[in-house]
Structure 1
Amino acid sequence: MTRVAAIDCGTNSIRLLVADADPATGEIAELDRRMQIVRLGQGVDRTGRLAPEALERTFAACREYAAAIKELGAERVRFVATSASRDAENSDEFVRGVLDILGVEPEVISGDQEAELSFLGATKELAGSDQLAKPYLVVDIGGGSTEFVVGDDEVRAARSVDIGCVRMTERHLVRDGVVIDPPTLGAVTAIRADIDAALDLAQETVPLGEAATLVGLAGTVTTVAAIALGLTEYDPAAIHHSRVSFEQVQEITGRLLSSTHEERAAIPAMHPGRVDVITSGALVLLAVMKRTGAQEVVVSEHDILDGIAWSAASRVD
């Protein structure tokens, strides 16, 4: 077993996993898993730059994570940065700050690399089992982008497209710094048009309709699952490998579209950092299910973060 620390820094959140992993057996023993909403991608779609306040929120989380990594004695650390830092002109400021705090340089990976790590994290525990029909379509709805990966035990095809929940919210639901609440019909129509265009792009590379099982990852999907399950608090064990039907996703999306900020914030399992972006994320999930014809989505709590941990454990120094 190798003790590893994996950090996934996306557009909306930064997450840490410290675990003992054995790539040979597929065993992973989680020691610490945590998440903070830092909104690193704040305004990037509009300005092309990482905002100073977003960088400071992210660096504050990195300092906390550095202390946890040191305390638990991780032998290897891998820090992966995704959509927001790929898009920003001043990504060098981000890289320098992370290196100073954690002693490792963040790897600003491509969308295809992101997709492959998401697939690895979501499906490694399923390898060799008959729990779910293959091939899988793994869909990771992030803040800045959404990754699509089709595969069996290995990736067949992958594509990343720019329809994350934060990007869609900032592009269509924010006016003068304030989120339109609830969204207008025109705004929802514009979001749906962007999503449909992005799905057309994804489908050029990934055969979206050929998968036998749709596996959904990340905060949008797990939050929708928590709502569908009627959880009074967020419970990863209950959410992991739960199944949410198309009808449930459709009903929840409709409910979110007609709700106010206060009504969404009052949902028991809703993280405060997702209140303003969950509606856009749900629209992405619903559109994916319509496009693929999936009657249900299998929800996974294991995602790119677990894939980063496995990749760190498998590396030969």
Structure 2
Amino acid sequence: MKDIISIDLGSNSFRVLKYDGENHKILDEYHQVVGLADGLISTGLISKEAQERVVNALKIASYKLNFNLKDAVCVTTAAMRKAKNAKEVLEYFQKQTGVNFNIINSDEEARLTLLAVKYALKREKIDSKNFILLDIGGGSTELIINKDKEFFSRSFDFGIVTMTQKNSENNSLKNDLDIRKDEVKEFLKSIDFKLQDFSFVATAGTPTTLAAIKLGIDYFNYDRNLVNGTKIYYEDLEKSLSILKTKSIEETTRLVGKGRVEFMEVGTYIYKIFFEVLNKNESIVFDDGLREGVAIDFTLKCKN
């Protein structure tokens, strides 16, 4: 089986993976902040500027990882699900680069992310039977409860980009967080079994960046192998918030990367509400997410 290229175009991040499906190994990767959802809350549209950033990122990734964009397995999520001009945008991407994106629904996003994290847990020799998975995205946030061979998921209509943009206009973050907290509680009421013995796992940019900050790693020295399996405790979130609020823009950019500075505080608050609602004090962080799930899923289908 030849190497697989999977691309995850999220609401803020563009992530590419070169994957050895035969041996289930990550060969190379590329990541860029593209801000796909910039302005989406106010206009309902993917802006022309964001489209150009994505086209540029696609071309750079193709060059750096040495692959043909037409051969990549590509998915896109919340921002494109919401955008009124999604069809035109995807046609533009195809015309400019030859890439074909598939807009996946929240259930498929949850399934693929869960698949990746299950493999990650097994790789790290951590029990993967019963756990809670949090995936904090730019435009939506997914909570997945894995119980043995079945799972229950809910996609919540808020993420680090959309919540930041919404509350920058009306300064009502605390009220918004309280409302979202109630939404999560309602979902958990529908789960008819106890979650106290389920481990709490988190993926995506906010948890991995907070794990890196805890480890003393800045954006330019980020290492997924060091981040994977790191435990974040509730008190770590308070420490991170203090750092984010007191450091200069230059220092924060070095820590979290360009294009993330304005979203990290809200992302940390979102992470906090899940700690509180789930009544957990620690969370295991993994870099593995949707792009890994897409590659693994493609591999399994080819083998069958």
Q: TM-score, normalised by structure 2?
A: 0.88
Corresponding residue number in structure 2 for 1:273: 259
Corresponding residue number in structure 2 for 1:299: 285
1:196 to 160, 168, 181: 181
Task: Please list the CA deviations of residues 62-109 of structure 1 after superposition, one character each: whole Å capped at 9, or x if unmatched.
Answer: 22233456x347995211000000000100122112323443421111
Corresponding residue number in structure 2 for 1:220: 206
**In the alignment, structure 1 residue 287 sits paired with structure 2 residue 283:** no
Report the alpha carbon displacement of residue 269 of structure 1 after superposing the two structures with TM: 2.9
SS in 2 for 1:137: strand
**In the alignment, structure 1 residue 77 sits paired with structure 2 residue 72:** yes
Contact kept, 8 Å, 1:3 with 1:76, in 2: the verdict is: no
Rounded to whole Å, the distance in 2 between the matches of 1:128 and 1:278 is 28
Rounded to whole Å, the distance in 1 between the matches of 2:191 and 2:259 is 31
User: Structure 1: 5+ residue runs without aligned partners?
Assistant: 176-185
Rounded to whole Å, the distance in 2 between the matches of 1:8 and 1:269 is 23
Corresponding residue number in structure 2 for 1:41: 37
Matched length:
300
SS in 1 for 2:91: helix
SS in 2 for 1:84: helix
Corresponding residue number in structure 1 for 2:238: 250
Q: Which amino acid aligns with 2:44?
A: G
Contact kept, 8 Å, 2:140 with 2:157, in 1: the verdict is: yes
Rounded to whole Å, the distance in 1 between the matches of 2:91 and 2:223 is 36
**In the alignment, structure 1 residue 238 sits paired with structure 2 residue 226:** yes
Rounded to whole Å, the distance in 2 between the matches of 1:96 and 1:74 is 14
Report the alpha carbon displacement of residue 121 of structure 1 after superposing the two structures with TM: 1.0
Rounded to whole Å, the distance in 1 between the matches of 2:149 and 2:98 is 32
Rounded to whole Å, the distance in 2 between the matches of 1:163 and 1:214 is 20
Q: CA 1:19–1:208 in 2, change beyond 3 Å: closer, same or farther?
A: farther
Q: Which stretch of the first structure deviates more once superposed, 228-237 or 129-138? A: 129-138
Q: Which amino acid aligns with 1:312?
A: F
Contact kept, 8 Å, 1:2 with 1:75, in 2: the verdict is: no
Report the alpha carbon displacement of residue 142 of structure 1 after superposing the two structures with TM: 0.6
Contact kept, 8 Å, 1:209 with 1:291, in 2: the verdict is: no
2:95 to 96, 100, 119: 100
Task: Please list the CA deviations of residues 235-266 of structure 1 after superposition, one character each: whole Å capped at 9, or x if unmatched.
Answer: 2221111111111123323543x446627625
Contact kept, 8 Å, 2:112 with 2:293, in 1: the verdict is: yes
Q: How does 1:1-317 map to 2 (within 5 A)?
A: 1-22=1-22, 27-68=23-64, 71-72=66-67, 77-127=72-122, 131-132=126-127, 134-152=129-147, 154-174=149-169, 187-203=172-188, 210=195, 212-232=198-218, 233-256=221-244, 258-259=245-246, 262=249, 265=252, 268-316=254-302
SS in 1 for 2:24: strand
Rounded to whole Å, the distance in 1 between the matches of 2:164 and 2:216 is 25
Q: TM-score, normalised by structure 1?
A: 0.85
CA root-mean-square deviation: 2.7
User: Structure 2: 5+ residue runs without aligned partners?
Assistant: none
Task: Please list the CA deviations of residues 249-297 of structure 1 after superposition, one character each: whole Å capped at 9, or x if unmatched.
Answer: 23323543x446627625x431111100000100010110111111111
Report the alpha carbon displacement of residue 131 of structure 1 after superposing the two structures with TM: 1.9
Identity of aligned pairs, percent? 26
SS in 2 for 1:277: helix
Corresponding residue number in structure 2 for 1:183: none
Rounded to whole Å, the distance in 1 between the matches of 2:186 and 2:87 is 29
Contact kept, 8 Å, 1:141 with 1:281, in 2: the verdict is: yes
Rounded to whole Å, the distance in 2 between the matches of 1:208 and 1:168 is 31
Task: Please list the CA deviations of residues 5-30 of structure 1 after superposition, one character each: whole Å capped at 9, or x if unmatched.
Answer: 100001001110011113xxxx4222
Report the alpha carbon displacement of residue 234 of structure 1 after superposing the two structures with TM: 2.1
Contact kept, 8 Å, 1:122 with 1:304, in 2: the verdict is: no
SS in 2 for 1:151: strand
Q: Which amino acid aligns with 1:116?
A: R
